[in-house]
Amino acid sequence: MSLIKNILAKFGYQLVRKQKSLETVSKNRAENFPLWLKEAEALGEDVNDYINRNVGNPLELLQKVVFPYLPAEASAVIEVGPGTGRFSRAIMDRIKANPHWKLYLLDHSQWIITFLTVYFEEYDNVYPILNDGLHVPVIDDNSTDLIFSNGVFIELNLSRFYTYCNDSYRVLKPGGHIIFNYIDLEFDQAWEHMKKFSENPRFSFSYFTSNVIDKVFLEKGFRLMNRALVGNSTYVVYQKPVE
């Protein structure tokens, strides 16, 4: 794609992806991101800078939880549930020194995918992909170094863990990692979180213990590498064994 762009540029042309307008795309499953975008635009800010200013920069979390398992020479990363790309930007900066890098952004919201396609349109190596909330589509077997998800598994039921586990094992390279957060009832913070949000009619969180989550991933063949409480949720790292 870059070669085509360079050739067209020599003749004064520019290759532009034809995109749907966000105004015509359903906001279903987009959560609060359309509102945050509207607020950021009213202030003349980048939406991810605006969200970072309000909820914190994700770089510290990535450096603690993800980057130890993501060497700079890694070539392919999947992020499930990227929102407007706060984490995606930092992950991209981590891997883009590799000339063959690819960043796949999976979400089940058409609004999110449309936004990300425009937001990252100058990067041919970023691939926003609409999925069904269950699977990792399109991506080849044994092709991915790392899968990361923040704020998604905390709302999934166990059957969704199972389907993502199976597809993650398929696409990860031997030695690759999957990292995500969930709410673990073995920690007091999780109990307090459940009691607090149980009174909310829009309550949508899910709660498990480490034994339940491990049963799903270890039976598939993953190895447990790390588990750490960060705030109210627990980040867990599983590795696909090297054959």
- pLDDT tens column, 113-168: 999 999 999 999 999 999 888 888 878 999 999 999 999 999 999 999 999 999 99
Give the separation between CA 77 and CA 138, rounded to whole angstroms: 14
Q: Which of 165, 163, 156 is nearest to 207 (CA)?
A: 156
Average pLDDT taken over every residue of the chain: 88
Tell me what pLDDT residue 73 has. Answer: 84
Residue 190 neighbours by CB under 8 Å, 6+ apart? 183, 184, 207, 232, 233, 234
Q: Could you read off the pLDDT of 58-76 as tens digits, one per residue?
A: 999 999 999 999 987 889 9
Residue 219 has pLDDT above 50, yes or no: yes
Q: Rounded to whole angstroms, what are the CA distances from 65 to 59, 169, 221, 240? A: 10, 20, 22, 17
The CATH class that applies to domain 26-239 reads alpha beta
The share of the chain scoring above pLDDT 90, in percent, equals 70
Res. 203 pLDDT band, cuts 50 70 90:
confident
Question: Could you tell me if 135 and 160 are in contact, meaning their C-beta atoms sit under 8 angstroms apart?
Answer: no
Residue 205 pLDDT: 87
Does residue 8 register a pLDDT over 80? no
Burial of 174 (0-12, 13-18, 19+ CB in 10 A): exposed
